[in-house]
Amino acid sequence: MKVTIVGAGNVGATCADVISYRGIASEVVLLDI
């Protein structure tokens, strides 16, 4: 599964870290606008 997170600030980075650590998704994309 691929997950895209909009916003690479503290919340976005934490979400990406937790998603990758728990193995929820095989690919995480951070999109900062």
pLDDT recorded at residue 33: 86
User: Which letter, b or e, does each residue of 1-33 get, where b requires 16 or more Cβ atoms within 10 Å of its Cβ?
Assistant: eeeebeeeeeeeeeebeebeeeeeeeebeeeee
| 8 three-state secondary structure | coil
- pTM over the 0.85 mark: no
Mind listing the pLDDT tens digit of every residue in the chain (33 residues)? Answer: 999 999 999 999 999 999 999 999 999 999 998
Domain ranges within the chain, ordered by starting residue? 2-31
Cα angle value 20/5/24 (rounded, 5°): 30
pLDDT recorded at residue 31: 96
pLDDT recorded at residue 29: 96
pLDDT recorded at residue 3: 97
Length of the chain: 33
